[in-house]
Structure 1
Amino acid sequence: MITRKALVVAAHPDDVDYLASGTVARWAAEGVETTYCVVTDGDAGWSAGGVSRAHVAAVRRAEQTAAAKVVGVEDVRFLGYPDGELELSGPLRRDLARVVRQVRPQRMVMPSPEINWERMPDSHPDHRVTGEAALRVAYPEARNPLAHRELLDNEGLEAFAVPQLWIFGGPRPNHHVDVTDVFELKLAALREHASQTAHLADLEEQLRRWLGDNARRAGLRPGRLAESFQVASTA
């Protein structure tokens, strides 16, 4: 299967940069056009007081847009749902289905709907809700012309079947991408999220440790770095 377009769905700004931006950078170098769809603005992700959620949202949107450009992504879409309050709702699934039908990707990347007991930060409730909603949209809702009928009737968005799913942050990865050669891009993208990473003196060390662990589990040679996914077909 030739992949020309990919869609990455994430719950918060910076999720994709922690878990998948090295892979996205590799795809960009191969000519894959990638779109980010960020469900919330991360407007509850702020440690200092004295600012409004609207201010936080504006800062984090700008950070994610800048981070995306570092790895070659120009199309970043925000759905604007409240951070920390996601529910598996019809409106959320409809909004995700809209983006799928607009982008029409051969590959869709999303957080896992399952709990990863070995790494709980990957299993934030917003991540799992986003993953479940994206999974339902990828199969079967986006491909079903009778699902979210208003997208077809009112917006002219034809049904579309996503052939391949890449799931990050889950407990059962079965595919690993060597991101050693694009590690500096991944690190630079994360540093664009200054509101979240500027205080982390050990950010690079932490990333190398996580990615190194992935690479070892994948059987790559010492010194390599990898991102991990569960890849599945919808056929």
Structure 2
Amino acid sequence: MPNQTEDLIERMTASGQKRALVVMAHPDDNEFVCGGTVALLSSKGWSVHIVVTTSGNKGTKDGSVTPQQLAFVREKEQRHAAEILGAEDPTFMGFPDGYIENSNELRGLLVRQIRLHRPDLVITWDGFRSGFNHRDHRRTGRATYDAIYPAADDHLFYPSHKRENLSPHRPSVLLLAGTDSPDYLVDVTSVMAIKVRSILAHESQMGGRTEAMVMERYRKRMIEERGAATVHGNKDDEVRYQESFKVIEFA
């Protein structure tokens, strides 16, 4: 069972560690898997920067839309969603949707983001989870691990960054989203409405769904997944909403 005895976010906030970097594969990944956590961090005074590795230019069933048109729309939607969550303006790497590789190019770009933003906390996909998952999720997660360690903290990796006055940096904590072995739950009940609004900012993906429809979907999921851990009594308004992660702490 996930360990909730120590609130990691509260501990980091109290110690002044209040910079987060979220690395996701597609526009909307952040909002679905950790939007509540981002909103919670923002409410506690953290600076949160979102990096999206692909343009999301394949994510449609509309045959009349070109990849270029879709990429433009999805970038606009992601900027709006980040604003709703209180995050900074996102960084878009623009790799084609479905073609992410854990390449030297991608790792170098991620190392640059780590050295630039100097996060205390990084959130990304669990690239080693069992079962089915999008290849872009897996490879974005693995590239992020490799960028954090050993590359971002060693000056001999990507030495050209010195010309930008970017020095080595290692985050304190990595949270893996979409994991099948979570050991940390974040209670996002207080910011759930913000999370839902950020999801609905991705209009090209949401097919006309309403806030009530999305909230009901999450309510049912929480009851099914967490049961008594999230429901106190029988009142719907007492459901506790959570996002789950696997924690890696760096010495």
The answer to whether TM tops 0.5 is yes
Is 1:206 equivalent to 2:217 in the alignment? yes
Identity across the alignment (%): 34
Give TM-score, length-normalised by structure 2: 0.86
Consecutive unaligned residues in structure 2, runs of 5 or more: 1-11, 233-238
How is 1:5-24 mapped onto 2 (pairs within 5 angstroms)? 5-24=19-38
Would the aligned equivalents of 1:215 and 1:224 in 2 still touch at CA under 8 Å? no
Match of 1:27 in 2: 41
Counterpart pick for 2:90 among 66, 76, 84 = 76
Deviation by residue 1:166-204 (Cα, 9 ceiling, x = unmatched): 110011110001111111101100000000013446433
Query: Closer, same or farther in 2 for the Cα pair 1:214/1:158, shift >3 Å?
Result: farther
| 1:74 Cα offset (Å) | 2.4
Deviation by residue 1:106-152 (Cα, 9 ceiling, x = unmatched): 000000112342xx3xx211000000000111111110111112222
Is 1:51 equivalent to 2:65 in the alignment? yes
| 1:216 Cα offset (Å) | 4.0
Counterpart AA for 1:151: H
Counterpart pick for 1:224 among 240, 245, 250 = 240
Consecutive unaligned residues in structure 1, runs of 5 or more: none
CA distance, structure 1, for counterparts of residue 218 and residue 88 of structure 2: 24
Would the aligned equivalents of 1:112 and 1:168 in 2 still touch at CA under 8 Å? yes
Match of 2:7 in 1: none
RMSD of aligned alpha carbons? 1.6
Query: Closer, same or farther in 2 for the Cα pair 1:136/1:50, shift >3 Å?
Result: same
How is 1:96-175 mapped onto 2 (pairs within 5 angstroms)? 96-117=110-131, 120=132, 123-152=133-162, 154-175=163-184
CA distance, structure 2, for counterparts of residue 167 and residue 82 of structure 1: 23
Would the aligned equivalents of 2:55 and 2:95 in 1 still touch at CA under 8 Å? yes
Whichever of the two has the greater Rg, that structure is 2
Match of 2:101 in 1: 87
Would the aligned equivalents of 1:178 and 1:215 in 2 still touch at CA under 8 Å? no
Match of 2:236 in 1: none
SS of the residue corresponding to residue 110 of structure 2 reads helix
CA distance, structure 1, for counterparts of residue 165 and residue 221 of structure 2: 43
Query: Closer, same or farther in 2 for the Cα pair 1:31/1:53, shift >3 Å?
Result: same
Query: Closer, same or farther in 2 for the Cα pair 1:91/1:68, shift >3 Å?
Result: same
Query: Closer, same or farther in 2 for the Cα pair 1:176/1:213, shift >3 Å?
Result: farther
Would the aligned equivalents of 2:222 and 2:230 in 1 still touch at CA under 8 Å? no
Deviation by residue 1:71-115 (Cα, 9 ceiling, x = unmatched): 111231101111000111000000011101000000000001123
Give TM-score, length-normalised by structure 1: 0.92
